[in-house]
Structure 1
Amino acid sequence: RQSRMNHSIVTEFIILGLSRNPELQGVLFVIFLFIYLVAFLGNMLIVVAIIYNTTLHTPMYVFLLAPAIVDIICTTSIIPKMLWTTLTSEEIISYGGCMSQLFFFTWSLGAEMVLFTTMAYDRYVAICFPLRCTTIMNHHMCVALLSIVMAIAVTSSLVHMGLILKLTFCGPTIGHFLCETPPLLALSCSPVRVNELMVYVADDILAVGDFILTFISYGFIIAAILKIRTAEGKKKAFSTCSSHLIVVSLYYSPVIYTYIHPATSYTFDKDKVVAALYTIVTPTLNLIVYSFQNKEMQVGIKLLLLHISH
């Protein structure tokens, strides 16, 4: 079938994946299968441990539970298809499948960014107002913050997907390993100015805005840490904050880079590597830095594993 613009109506896309080099594909399959299993099983362990242990039913661990769920959805919407493509060279994805992947990925991207800010605010309250922490971060505040996270993420993903659905595509080949907004805009024969404007708005408000708010929160946290009298207390607090800030920087930097330049300037060989950082690597780092370094979380996981073993 042909449209009036003499372009084929795309009913399926071809995703080229990370590499078309047969020698690299086997290596990449093993590496990303390992990363996916670590991210998926590790995050599932965190989710079950927090739900199982009533001692972890506090705002801090609710804010660890939420990104674990988001990371499971993010990696599961991308990596299994990418692994299948790498293993079988079956590069076809249906139009509906592509749009579904776009929705869940965009949703998880927005949710992750707002959750980083929420978690930073929770840490700020806990460290700067320790006596009022339970009063400020109560059950109602947790529900309100998580509702805001969901509302922002869903709205952002629906707007982006709605604008993508209106586009006419010149061809089916996506030079990427997932259906993301930038490669789809580069494939469009329709004007993409409105799409790019919304990408800039989302990037400025969500990515840059959340990035600034997160660092402001950690600025107050560091100022409070400097008032700690014991050297051991300062060292422990700084170690936690620095590891959190490294993860946040590794996540925001490639996201801002990817979404800040126009579709015509995308270079997919480079952008695929950058995208891999915030779609695959960061969910695994979240797991290690935010959860497995936490002593109460470690105890909760041990109790869960002991319960399973018995």
Structure 2
Amino acid sequence: LFTLYSFLYVLRLNEGSNTGINIDERKKMERENFTIWSIFFLEGFSQYPRLEVVLFVFSLVMYLATLLGNSTLILITILDSRLKTPMYLFLGNLSFMDICYTSASIPTLLVNLLSSQKTIILSGCAVQMYLSLAMGSTECVLLAVMAYDRYVAICNPLRYSIIMNRCVCARMATVSWVTGCLTALLETSLALQIPLCGNLIDHFTCEILAVLKLACTSSLLVNTIMLVVSILLLPIPMLLICISYIFILSTILRISSAEGRNKAFSTCGAHLTVVILYYGAALSMYLKPSSSKAQKIDKIISLLYGVLTPMLNPVIYSLRNKEVKDAVKKLLGKIPLHQTHEHL
């Protein structure tokens, strides 16, 4: 999601630019207005004080549910022998990302919802921005990796264990993390170097697009680099996911038995649902004209997306997954620990 922020930010640069100001005047304005801010004020939902208590309760419940659901999913993928497969390795990584993603912003939000001074220090803002970007970027790559895993499982099942062996899966997961973390470091470093003419962030978190709106001037180099990074992490993974599912759908439609088709659909249904949630919510928020009214709506949608999607991911992967349900029951002691299972 945060990768999409920077992508669309660059595309919208000309919307708010003043073409009547030359370069020398811009530099003069920058010298006059630029301040090194050590504290930022998060506007959040301060305009709706009655709503803040409701949002606090909602966010707290969703955050605790996210921690519980994703921690449980990580735990069972480690403890249950049946879940030692590529899909669950990637799912465990996805759950860890969801925990980090929400933990980067929700605790600060909870404090600010009950506080009259909604502030965050520069270092805290930088860490929050970096973690959100890193987790969002990593998830973009990991969702593409998971789509490839489903493609191999359905389109080339006889060679699945050879192609998606443990070493290959570990490398793919590592590449996802390294790519996301390094690109997030680059984007965060660039964003923090841009001179800011204010310290009031019109958001409930140090979201990169909201911070960049405070920039005194635009930087062609910074914007170009952020655009290139965003193209690498957004359209390319989306294209790979679409290609994978085109082949998957083609293979499923050639399956003669209805039972076989249903089993194949259920195999990739959870991942496809997560992909639609991830990209659908992001695109609905940011592929529309900017306005002050839209910004208020965006904050509500962004909050719902930020707390609901990470909470729903373990639920989505558990609803129609017998292995996950049995593993949870086993963890809770409803299935004897000595019961053995066959590997997938």
Q: Same fold (TM over 0.5)?
A: yes
Q: Does 1:159 align with 2:186?
A: yes
Alignment match of 2:233 (pick from 192, 201, 206): 206
Tell which deviates more after alignment, 96-105 or 43-52: 43-52
Letter in 2 for 1:69: F
Q: How many corresponding residue pairs?
A: 308
1:295: which partner in 2? 322
1:216: which partner in 2? 243
> Higher relative contact order at CA 8 Å, sep ≥6: structure 1 or structure 2?
2
TM-superposed CA distance for 1:245, in Å, is: 2.6
- Distance between the aligned counterparts of 1:217 and 1:145, measured in 2? 16
TM-superposed CA distance for 1:80, in Å, is: 1.1
The structure with more radius of gyration? 2
TM-superposed CA distance for 1:163, in Å, is: 0.3
Q: Does 1:130 align with 2:157?
A: yes
1:244: which partner in 2? 271
Tell which deviates more after alignment, 287-296 or 154-163: 287-296
Letter in 2 for 1:231: A
Query: What are the superposed Cα offsets for residues 128-161 of structure 1, whole Å, 9 maximum, x if unpaired?
Result: 1111110000011011101210121012101111
Q: Does 1:81 align with 2:108?
A: yes
Alignment match of 2:99 (pick from 56, 60, 72): 72
- Secondary structure of residue in 2 paired with 1:14: strand
Q: Check the 8 A contact 1:46/1:291 in 2, yes or no.
A: no
Give the 3 Å change call, closer, same or farther, for CA 221–274 of structure 1 in structure 2. same
TM-superposed CA distance for 1:282, in Å, is: 1.8
2:40: which partner in 1? 13
Tell which deviates more after alignment, 300-309 or 225-234: 300-309
TM-superposed CA distance for 1:193, in Å, is: 3.4
- Secondary structure of residue in 2 paired with 1:171: coil
1:110-121 counterparts in 2 under 5 A? 110-121=137-148
Q: Check the 8 A contact 2:150/2:268 in 1, yes or no.
A: no
Alignment match of 2:64 (pick from 37, 40, 48): 37
1:176: which partner in 2? 203
Q: Does 1:108 align with 2:135?
A: yes
Gaps of at least 5 residues in structure 2 are: 1-29, 338-344
TM-score, L = length of structure 2: 0.81
Letter in 1 for 2:120: I
Q: Does 1:50 align with 2:104?
A: no
Gaps of at least 5 residues in structure 1 are: none
RMSD: 2.7
TM-score, L = length of structure 1: 0.90
TM-superposed CA distance for 1:263, in Å, is: 9.2
Q: Check the 8 A contact 1:73/1:108 in 2, yes or no.
A: yes
Q: Check the 8 A contact 2:33/2:216 in 1, yes or no.
A: no
Identity, in percent, stands at 38
TM-superposed CA distance for 1:243, in Å, is: 4.7
- Secondary structure of residue in 2 paired with 1:93: strand
Tell which deviates more after alignment, 80-89 or 242-251: 242-251
2:89: which partner in 1? 62
Q: Check the 8 A contact 1:182/1:263 in 2, yes or no.
A: no
